[in-house]
Amino acid sequence: MSTEAFQILQSVCPLDCPDTCSLDVKVADGRVVAIDGNHRNAVTAGYICGKVRRFPEHVYGTDRVLYPAVRSGKKGSGTFRRVSWDEALALVVERVRDVKRRLGGEAILPFSYGGSNGYLTQGTTDARLFHRLGASRLAHTVCAAPSSTAVRGLYGRMPGVAFEDYPAARLIVIWGCNPSATGIHLVPYIRRAQRAGAKLVVVDPRRTPLARLADLHMAPLPGTDLPVALAVHRWLFEHGATDKAFLEEHVAGVEEFRRRVEAWTIDRAASTARVKPDEIEQLARMYAESSPAVIRCGWGVERNRNGGSAVAAILALPAVAGKFGVRGGGFTMSNSMAWDLDATRAACEPEPATRLINMNRLGQALVDEREPPIALLFVYNANPLATLPRQGLVRAGLAREDLFTIDFEQVLTDTARWADVLLPATTFLEHTELRKAYGAMLVQSARPVIAPVGEARPNYAVYAELCRRLVLSHPGEPEGPEELADAILSGDSSRPIAASLRDSGTAAPLCGARPVQFVDVLPRTSDGKVHLVPSALDAEAPLGLYGYQHEADDRYTLALISPATSRSISSSLAQLIAEQVAVEIHPDDAAARGIATGDAVRVFNELGQLHTRAELNDQLRHGVAVVPKGLWSRHTADGNTANSLVPDTFTDLGGGACFNDARVEIERI
Nearer to ligand MGD, 242 or 309 (CB): 309
Residue 121 binds which entry of ligand MGD, Mo ion, none, CB below 5-8 Å type-dependent: ligand MGD
Q: Are strands 80-82 and 69-71 parallel, antiparallel or unpaired?
A: antiparallel
CA 536, chain centre distance (Å): 24
Nearer to ligand MGD, 44 or 525 (CB): 44
Size of the site for Mo ion (CB under 5 A): 1
The distance of closest approach from Cβ of residue 144 to Mo ion in the complex, given in angstroms and rounded to an integer, is: 6
The distance of closest approach from Cβ of residue 561 to ligand MGD in the complex, given in angstroms and rounded to an integer, is: 5
Q: What are phi and psi of 455, to 5 degrees?
A: -110, 25
Q: What are phi and psi of 82, to 5 degrees?
A: -65, 135
User: What residues pair up with 424 in beta bridges, in sequence order?
Assistant: 409
The distance of closest approach from Cβ of residue 274 to ligand MGD in the complex, given in angstroms and rounded to an integer, is: 12
Residue 181 binds which entry of Mo ion, ligand MGD, none, CB below 5-8 Å type-dependent: ligand MGD
Angle (CA) 381-382-384 rounded to 5° is 165
Stretch that binds Mo ion, among 59-67, 142-150, 181-189, 421-429 (CB under 5 A): 142-150
| Residue ranges in 196-316 assigned as alpha helix (H) | 209-212, 225-238, 244-250, 254-261, 266-273, 277-289, 307-315
Stretch that binds Mo ion, among 116-124, 139-147, 406-414, 479-487 (CB under 5 A): 139-147
Contact 654, 145 (CB under 8 A): yes
Contact 347, 128 (CB under 8 A): yes
Nearer to Mo ion, 143 or 666 (CB): 143
Q: Which has the closest alpha carbon to 661: 551, 583, 571?
A: 551
Contact 49, 214 (CB under 8 A): no
Nearer to ligand MGD, 217 or 529 (CB): 217
Residue 159 binds which entry of ligand MGD, Mo ion, none, CB below 5-8 Å type-dependent: none
Residue 116 binds which entry of ligand MGD, Mo ion, none, CB below 5-8 Å type-dependent: ligand MGD
CA atoms of 251 and 523, how far apart (whole Å):
10
Nearer to Mo ion, 142 or 321 (CB): 142
The distance of closest approach from Cβ of residue 436 to ligand MGD in the complex, given in angstroms and rounded to an integer, is: 15
Residues 472-531 that bind Mo ion (CB under 5 A): none
- Of the CA atoms within 13 Å of residue 369, those in its CB half-sphere come to 0
In 437-581, the DSSP E strands lie at 443-446, 506-507, 530-531, 558-561
Residue 174 binds which entry of Mo ion, ligand MGD, none, CB below 5-8 Å type-dependent: none
The distance of closest approach from Cβ of residue 28 to Mo ion in the complex, given in angstroms and rounded to an integer, is: 34
CA dihedral 440, 441, 443, 449 (to 10 degrees): -20
The distance of closest approach from Cβ of residue 299 to Mo ion in the complex, given in angstroms and rounded to an integer, is: 6
CA atoms of 425 and 430, how far apart (whole Å):
9
The distance of closest approach from Cβ of residue 1 to ligand MGD in the complex, given in angstroms and rounded to an integer, is: 29
Nearer to ligand MGD, 362 or 516 (CB): 362
Stretch that binds Mo ion, among 137-145, 279-287, 457-465, 616-624 (CB under 5 A): 137-145
Q: What are phi and psi of 580, to 5 degrees?
A: -65, 145
Q: Which of 96, 107, 109, 143 binds Mo ion (CB under 5 A)?
A: 143
The distance of closest approach from Cβ of residue 535 to ligand MGD in the complex, given in angstroms and rounded to an integer, is: 26
Q: Which residues, other chains included, contact 399 with Cβ-Cβ below 8 Å and sequence gap of 6+?
A: 75, 76, 418
CA atoms of 479 and 353, how far apart (whole Å):
24
Under rule CB under 5 A, residue 333 binds Mo ion: no
Nearer to ligand MGD, 356 or 519 (CB): 356
Nearer to ligand MGD, 71 or 529 (CB): 71
Residue 395 binds which entry of ligand MGD, Mo ion, none, CB below 5-8 Å type-dependent: none
Nearer to ligand MGD, 254 or 411 (CB): 411
Contact 147, 125 (CB under 8 A): no
Q: Which residues, other chains included, contact 320 with Cβ-Cβ below 8 Å and sequence gap of 6+?
A: 233, 236, 237, 242, 243, 247, 251, 254, 257, 532
Please identify the residue of the shown chain whose CB is closest to the bound ligand MGD: 300
Residue ranges in contact with ligand MGD by CB under 6 A: 16-17, 113-116, 121, 142-143, 175-178, 181-183, 203-206, 208, 222-223, 225, 298-301, 303-304, 380-384, 386-387, 408-411, 413, 425, 459, 561-564, 566, 568-572, 629-630, 642-643, 646, 659-660
Nearer to ligand MGD, 107 or 425 (CB): 425
Residue 35 binds which entry of Mo ion, ligand MGD, none, CB below 5-8 Å type-dependent: none
Q: With H, G, I as helix, E, B as strand and everything else as coil, classify residue 413.
A: coil
Residue 411 binds which entry of Mo ion, ligand MGD, none, CB below 5-8 Å type-dependent: ligand MGD
The distance of closest approach from Cβ of residue 622 to ligand MGD in the complex, given in angstroms and rounded to an integer, is: 14
Rounded to whole angstroms, the maximal C-alpha distance in the chain is 74
- Of the CA atoms within 13 Å of residue 295, those in its CB half-sphere come to 29
Q: Which residues, other chains included, contact 94 with Cβ-Cβ below 8 Å and sequence gap of 6+?
A: none
Contact 584, 591 (CB under 8 A): no
Contact 319, 293 (CB under 8 A): no
The distance of closest approach from Cβ of residue 119 to Mo ion in the complex, given in angstroms and rounded to an integer, is: 17
Residue 418 binds which entry of ligand MGD, Mo ion, none, CB below 5-8 Å type-dependent: none
How crowded is residue 454: how many other Cβ atoms within 10 Å of its Cβ? Answer: 13
The distance of closest approach from Cβ of residue 143 to Mo ion in the complex, given in angstroms and rounded to an integer, is: 3
CA dihedral 406, 409, 412, 415 (to 10 degrees): -50
Nearer to ligand MGD, 143 or 511 (CB): 143
CA atoms of 360 and 650, how far apart (whole Å):
8
The distance of closest approach from Cβ of residue 629 to Mo ion in the complex, given in angstroms and rounded to an integer, is: 9
Nearer to ligand MGD, 132 or 435 (CB): 435
Please identify the residue of the shown chain whose CB is closest to the bound Mo ion: 143
Nearer to ligand MGD, 80 or 246 (CB): 80
Residue 88 binds which entry of ligand MGD, Mo ion, none, CB below 5-8 Å type-dependent: none
Stretch that binds Mo ion, among 140-148, 246-254, 270-278, 520-528 (CB under 5 A): 140-148
CA atoms of 639 and 277, how far apart (whole Å):
42
Nearer to Mo ion, 138 or 467 (CB): 138
Which stretches of the chain bind Mo ion, using CB under 5 A? 143
